[in-house]
Chain A
Amino acid sequence: MELFDKITELKNEIIKEIKEAKNLNELKLAGEKNLSKKSPLNAMMAHIKDLVGEAKANFGQAMNKARNEVTEAYQNRQLELSEAEIKEKLSKEKIDITLPSVSYKMGGINPFYLIQDEIIDIFVSMGYEVKEGPDVETDYFNFERMNIPENHPAREMQDSFYITNSLLLRTHTSPAQAHAMDEKKGEPIKIICPGKCFRRDDDDVTHSHQFGQVEGLVVDKNINFGNLKATLELFLRKMFGEKREVRFRGSYFPFTEPSVEVDISCMECHGKGCPTCKGTGYIEILGAGMVHPNVLKMAGYDPKEYSGFAFGVGIERVAMLRYGIDDIRRIYQGDVRFIEQFTRK
């Protein structure tokens, strides 16, 4: 059956030609030559008219098979070549993947605001309102309403920046307590008041004539010192870690009674003693107490019926402790190399 051999021979030749096409162009030419109706393989079909019966059928089948094989070979080669072509094209498009990106970084935040926002968020989660009092205060609110009567040492000119005899830059956020009580007119209160404060201190490593505080005030019937204790423990552990020990020391503020200083176990040494806590194992973190009956009375709350607690946290102090900031002036200097170190807690 030399006819069949011829088909095979021709088919093999064509497949070889297809496989040897070096690029898609050559392949296309080979295709045009061998896959068209007038291709040498198709020309073999002329022989069918010389055949009959089974031979004719066999011949037809052999031709179909050969054509299919050729088509398949063509398609395979086409795939191979186009893949290679894409590969080669892409290989030329290689970039240095370590070059700098287009920056979509969040801007830096002054650690002062980082801490202030964090304190606010903790108390908001505990159901507190947040409200800012004014930086410029009357001495009536800054002192008298805080149970610091005239002639009290804290009212000395040397400690406060006065604008007129009765107007000054507030020396603490505590007057916000009096404002809150005046506004609530006898209703229960749960509020924090963040803000800027000012004292006549020369600026140095640890002192600043401007500084921030967050004041807290809760007033209702039956508020007791234990409520203050629990609230501060919760806050301080959220702020400084669940493992912090919290301790209370007797202290004095004119507007609270009893008054306490609150310490937490040192986050560096966990109470063993180290340079951060000056060897004591504890760090003083805020002042607090039960609202003095006079402060309630002046705001129209009957101290026989109502009681409350209050606390004040220094923002810079917390920021300095948390981030190991060595000089409070850095916070106000605005060097972007400093600011950009801080993005989130």
Chain B
Amino acid sequence: MKVSLNLLKKFVNLDNLTPTEIAHRLTFAGVEVESISSLASGTNLVVGEVLTCENMPDSDHLHLTAVNAGEKYGVLHIVCGAPNVRKGLKVIVATDGAKLPGGTIKKGKIRGHESEGMLCSLSELGVDSKYLSESQLSGIEELSVGKVGDENVLELLGLDDVIFDLKLLANRSDLYSIYNVAKEIKTLFNKELSLPKFEMVKGEKTNFKVSSLTSKCSQFSAMVVKDIKVKESPSWLKDALRSSGIRSINNIVDIGNYVMLLTGQPLHMYDLDKLPKKELIVKDDIEGDFIALDEKTYKLQKGDVCITSNNKVMCLGGVMGSLECAVDDNTKNIVIEAANFDFASIRRTSIRLALSSDSSQRFVKGINPNQYNEVMALTLSLLKELASAKSNSEVVTYLEKKYESKVITSSTKYINNRLGTSFKDEEIVSALESAFIKVENNKGELVAHIPDSRIDITGEADLSEEVIRILGFEHVRSELPSMTLSVGKLEEKLLKKRMVRNYLRGLGLDEELTYSLVKESEINDFRILNKEEAYKVMNPLTDEHAYVRTNLLPSLMNTLTYNVSHGNPNLAIFEVSDLYSENNRHIHLAVVMHGNDNRQGMLSNVPYGYFHIKGIVDGLLALFNVDDKRVVISRCNEKEYHPGKSAEIKVDGKRIATFGELHPNTLNKYSLKSKDVAVLEMDLDALFNVRTSAKKMSVVSKFPPVNHDLAIVLRDDISSADVIKEIYKVNRELISKVDVFDVYRGEHIKEGYYSLAVSITYTSLEKTLTSEDVSSLEESIIKALENRFNAELRK
């Protein structure tokens, strides 16, 4: 809402208040002034008259002028490029040192000719081009007001205005009215108001009929005004509208807009003689085409609020009138409508047809339901003054039900308790009364009568807000809540997510955050752990963000591609995120490692691979105390992964992760040239939910452990994990640790076989093991491996 201070000044005394002061106070009271701007600006301006004007010899458009700038400045020689500059013209002169929106004007030479200032157009003074005519835009301003030497140029032109841009929140729809802004100033600064008072319109009886057949119209008033003259509006009206961001059309349209600007009540004007019947009936069950004022055709559908006459749509309620009954230059008699419509319907129609106007915006926010009589009186007085209206009818009104002003009961105790303040009863009452709320006070018990414009005030909590926004938040005592002492804590799943994140960051991995909305192809990629149907957004902004992701790796793979293409080939990143699919919520972890693990810069270039990512899986299982015996690792047969270098992990039979290196097709898909990529996706819910028994210490032996190495030759398909499991089986008490320290294929080992070297640690809780004890264990181990795997001792 643009508020012109010149206009506002007509209704409330702004003396001794600077625009900044007003803006600051309004902003703190919940009415944010988004910007303060001048309609136009310029210093060192003066009215001048062109005495001589000649073409500059060596230019096709510049003129050499001599301008009489009055007593103070004398005759100035000015070079001017405007096509309309000519002898005798009265012009705006910006003299040496003038500060204009575009910069400072200085004496100087143009193509060798002295120029002592500038002749100005209005756009050079900062006036928005939308308020200027074609000729005003293409040349300097041709003045009709003022006399040579006048320095109050902006004032002469009605351009000395300051404009507030109010950012109105949904609760203050009342402030789409200059009258109510003036009242707000009175509330906050206690300045005198001078709002005009209007009697009910007196007029001739009329048989013009108004009615509504829909509950979407709660009130509909009309007044017939005859013998009007359509013409140009006077300059004061044009200036007022211009400052408020509204274009002047003609006196009739301008009066409608001006009344709306002052009161917040949108009006519509019909040409009486074009109406098919002397009636206006509101309906909402009409379908078909509608040709609007803008000469475009719109499709009406049931539910649209239509103002009809003889069953023909004359106006799309609150949005736009029809071309058929529009006021034009020949209009003599008009019907004025002031109505109140259901804001939701107006909004739906306005959005569907992409038609938005100052009127529809006001209806959508909600208008004062009980001021139509005053509005009609104001309109009539302006029509008489500016359009020489001769006669008028009474105001005929359809009312769904009689409007009753709101009454709210509360107490000063409630208000102080809610705010944490200790205002005296009188302070609260006078604050409310300053906001035009009439209060009956009985020892702190309050009965408040709410002004009709304040449709936002519906309960006593709203009264408390009025009090504190008016008296100021600095009166609130700052005091921590006195509640029972509570233990702050993260819910378990958040706590566990944090454990995972801290662990991975501790390993040096970078934590990422990517968008939850992804494109369709990403839903179908790495669709492994979670195969549930993905949610599709009904109204996405772009295809890039049209689905709610169900797995996490595709997002992180895209982050990888981004990094590689931006010169960061060596990285290890992860993300933990909640994922949503029909009725389900999963927490996933994705890890991506690419390039080299160059922890010592270029001195150690170890390419990332399967065993890095497996290490993270093992680390996470250990972090959550998952017993090795419950974990089964097997090959992962998913198409995205390298078939020989990937795996999946099951805990208690449930698959919780897949990981490993990638299939060449996947590398291609993500434009990756290096094959040194290892990835992981893990279902963290499953990990978090693995039940582990209560931790108990196991005794550490005081006897020395004995280490022995063993190298055996095995068929290629036998895994080290199986071998280790078999070794433990031989004697769980004495075999405390089995580590693989070498895997060898090649010379001396036959094709299809490999050599596995393990280091076995033997420990007894009861004694120091002798070499005989160890040899006998070793023999049993060798025998077991021979039996189970046909393993041979490597010679």
Q: A: which residues have CB within 8 A of B?
A: 99-110, 112-113, 117, 120, 123-132, 134-136, 150-154, 156-158, 161-164, 167, 169, 188, 190, 196, 198, 200, 202, 209-210, 218, 220, 222-227, 229-231, 233-234, 247-252, 254, 257-260, 290, 292-293, 307, 331-337, 339-340
Contacts and interface: CB of A to CB of B under 8 A. Distances in A.
5 contacts: A108-B511, A224-B419, A252-B171, A257-B461, A334-B512
Contacts of A169: 516-517, 537, 548
Nearest to B343: A151
Nearest to B481: A227
B601 interface: yes
A154 B508 CA distance: 43
A316 B549 CA distance: 22
Contacts of B580: 134-136
A121 B545 CA distance: 32
7 tightest A-B CB contacts, nearest first: A226-B420, A250-B30, A151-B344, A258-B465, A334-B559, A224-B420, A124-B488
A108 B513 CA distance: 12
Interface in B169-217: 169-172
B479 interface: yes
B568 interface: yes
Interface stretch (B243-251, B499-507, B699-707, B786-794): B499-507
A110 B535 contact: no
B476 A225 contact: yes
B541 interface: yes
A106 B502 CA distance: 9
B479 A230 contact: yes
B285 interface: no
Contacts of A190: 481, 483, 486
Contacts of B476: 225-226, 229, 248
Contact of A109 (B419, B477, B511): B511
Interface in B321-356: 343-344, 347, 351
Nearest to B348: A151
Given A109-B505, A163-B535, A209 B545 contact: yes
A336 B418 contact: no
A106 B507 CA distance: 7
B170 A254 contact: yes
Contacts of A307: 418
Contact of A107 (B32, B419, B509, B537): B509
B437 to A, nearest CB: 15
B165 to A, nearest CB: 15
Nearest to B460: A293
A335 to B, nearest CB: 6
A167 B600 CA distance: 50
A222 B476 CA distance: 15
Contacts of B484: 188
Contact of B603 (A100, A109, A132, A231): A100
B419 A249 contact: no
B473 A130 contact: no
A129 B510 contact: no
A113 B170 contact: no
B490 A124 contact: yes
Contact of A337 (B32, B417, B479, B568): B568
Contacts of A161: 517, 537-540
B181 to A, nearest CB: 16
A257 B465 contact: yes
A100 B539 contact: no
A100 B490 contact: no
Nearest to A164: B538
Interface string B355-391: 0000000001000000000000000000000000000
Given A131-B494, A225-B420, A225-B468, A332 B563 contact: no
Interface string B538-568: 1111000100100000000001001100101
A196 B486 CA distance: 27
Nearest to B477: A226
Contacts of B516: 135, 169, 196, 198, 210
A104 B508 contact: yes
Nearest to A220: B483
A316 to B, nearest CB: 10
B694 interface: no
A164 to B, nearest CB: 7
A158 B539 CA distance: 8
A132 B494 contact: yes
Contact of B563 (A229, A292, A335): A335
B28 A127 contact: no
A112 B563 contact: no
Contacts of A102: 599-600, 604
B422 to A, nearest CB: 10
Nearest to B484: A188
B517 A198 contact: yes
A125 B419 CA distance: 26
A332 B515 contact: yes
A270 to B, nearest CB: 19
A73 to B, nearest CB: 45
A36 B458 CA distance: 115
A127 B491 contact: no
Interface string B721-735: 000000000000000
Contacts of A337: 566, 568
Contact of B481 (A218, A250, A332): A218
B17 interface: no
B600 A251 contact: no
A331 B517 CA distance: 15
B222 interface: no
Contacts of A340: 510
A67 B437 CA distance: 118
A129 B491 contact: yes
B364 A153 contact: yes
Contact of A334 (B347, B477, B514, B548): B514
Given A209-B517, A335-B566, A336-B510, 8 more contacts: A107-B506, A161-B537, A223-B481, A224-B420, A226-B420, A231-B480, A259-B30, A332-B515
Given A130-B494, A332-B513, A107 B504 contact: yes
Contacts of A108: 505, 510-511
A335 B510 contact: no
A8 B362 CA distance: 123
B773 interface: no
B612 to A, nearest CB: 14
Contact of A99 (B487, B507, B603): B603
A105 B508 contact: yes
A69 B466 CA distance: 105
Contacts of A125: 488
B480 A163 contact: no
B489 interface: yes
A163 B505 contact: no
B46 interface: no
Contacts of A130: 488-491, 494
Given A130-B494, A209-B541, A210-B517, A107 B508 contact: yes
B739 interface: no
A293 B463 CA distance: 13
A331 B559 CA distance: 12
Nearest to A250: B30
A231 B482 CA distance: 11
A226 B510 contact: no
A251 B548 contact: no
B647 interface: no
Contacts of B347: 151, 153, 156
A126 B488 contact: yes
Nearest to B560: A334
Nearest to B559: A334
A332 B172 CA distance: 36
Contacts of A292: 461
B252 to A, nearest CB: 31
B562 to A, nearest CB: 6
B29 interface: yes
Contacts of B601: 100
A339 B508 contact: no
